[in-house]
Amino acid sequence: MKIDDYLVEFVKQAIIEDLGDGDHTSLATIDKGAQGEAKMIAKDHGVLAGVEIVRDIIYCIDNTLATEILLEDGSVVKMGDIVLYIRGNIHNILLAERLVLNIMQRMSGIATTTREYVDLLKGTNTIVLDTRKTTPLLRIFEKEAVRIGGGGNHRFGLFDLILIKDNHVDYSGGIISALERAKEYRTKLHKPIEIEIEVRNMAELREVMGVGGADRIMLDNFSPEDVAEAVRIIDGRCKTEASGGITLQTIRSYAEAGVDYISVGALTHSVRSLDLSLKAKFL
């Protein structure tokens, strides 16, 4: 899925939600044709994300607004840095203001948090991944922010990976049954798709290795020591992923256990937005 495919409808719905029957404050206080300039300023230290998306959002709102970008996605910003300028119709600058800030603050917070995790993995071969623990209808932006922060994207949704988790295992009558059924389903599905399966203990891991056919095994709530043992058992026959409550304090120990991926829901579900503001002046 491309951001461009989604953006026009997203902006349309966001403006409907915010605008209602009109921006009565701007209509009451500012001439309709007035022209102005606004600058986006960083009020915090972190990793910038959403610049390119915001440029497209501004264009969707009013294609006569000029956007001058000073800092690109992935830039490290500090308090007082100017990110970009918007010039044109003041009413439409103010219409864009909150949507633009909301998206960029959220994305930059995610990118900043992701960069913290990525930095802790330096010198290892482990990649930190996001999850589906995202804000409904904002997933495409939040996963892009993870990428900008240096992380990797796990599946986007339910459609692009067969991921057998604990509930699938329990509902299907056991881990062997779940994996066998997934393999059979894949042979009948007329598109390439990988199978990942979550294991909760060493017994389930050995069952999965006995059946075979998984492209990746998720080691859920394993200790770093158990992850190291699981990686030894798997011995490169498929990719490995650790998950379950892994934090900034523990991620390095999991990476050093030799796992290929570490998935961290906290990249998107509990980040603090980066503080940005838009300040106006007349042209």
Evaluate if residue 144 carries a pLDDT over 60: yes
Question: Quick one: 220 and 88 in the same domain?
Answer: no
Residue 97: what pLDDT? Answer: 98
Question: Quick one: 149 and 84 in the same domain?
Answer: no
Question: Tens of pLDDT along 71-106?
Answer: 999 999 999 999 999 999 999 999 999 999 999 999
Question: Quick one: 124 and 70 in the same domain?
Answer: no
Global pTM reads 0.95
Q: How far apart are the first and last CA of the chain?
A: 39
Question: Quick one: 192 and 133 in the same domain?
Answer: yes
Residue 3: what pLDDT? Answer: 63
Over residues 253-259, mean pLDDT: 98
Cα separation of 37 and 33, whole Å? 13
Question: Quick one: 152 and 213 in the same domain?
Answer: yes
H/E run at residue 245: none
Over residues 36-50, mean pLDDT: 97
Instruction: Give rounded-to-5 percent helix, strand, coil for the chain.
Output: 45, 20, 35
Q: Are strands 35-42 and 276-282 parallel, antiparallel or unpaired?
A: antiparallel
Residue-range definition of the domain harbouring residue 46: 3-112+272-282
Cα separation of 66 and 58, whole Å? 9
Residue 282: what pLDDT? Answer: 66
Question: For position 76, which CATH number holds?
Answer: 3.90.1170.20
Over residues 129-145, mean pLDDT: 97
A 10 A CB-CB count for 188 gives: 6
Evaluate if residue 281 carries a pLDDT over 90: no
Evaluate if residue 1 carries a pLDDT over 60: no
Question: Quick one: 239 and 151 in the same domain?
Answer: yes
Confidence of residue 2 (pLDDT cuts 50, 70, 90): low
Phi, psi (rounded to 5 degrees) for 58 = -60, -40
Q: What total number of domains does the chain contain?
A: 2
Residue 274: what pLDDT? Answer: 98
| Catalytic positions | 98, 133, 165, 196, 220
Question: Quick one: 170 and 245 in the same domain?
Answer: yes
Question: Quick one: 31 and 76 in the same domain?
Answer: yes
Question: For position 200, which CATH number holds?
Answer: 3.20.20.70
Over residues 251-280, mean pLDDT: 97
Residue 4: what pLDDT? Answer: 82
Of 5-9, 129-133, 186-190, which range is least confident?
A: 5-9
Question: Tens of pLDDT along 185-216?
Answer: 999 998 999 999 999 999 999 999 999 999 99
Question: Quick one: 211 and 122 in the same domain?
Answer: yes
Mean pLDDT of the chain: 96
Question: Quick one: 135 and 255 in the same domain?
Answer: yes
Of 2-6, 23-27, 63-67, 249-253, which range is least confident?
A: 2-6
Which of helix, strand or coil describes residue 63? coil
Confidence of residue 178 (pLDDT cuts 50, 70, 90): very high
Which of helix, strand or coil describes residue 39? strand
Nearest residue to 239 via CA among 168, 171, 152: 152
Question: Quick one: 136 and 91 in the same domain?
Answer: no
Question: Quick one: 151 and 248 in the same domain?
Answer: yes
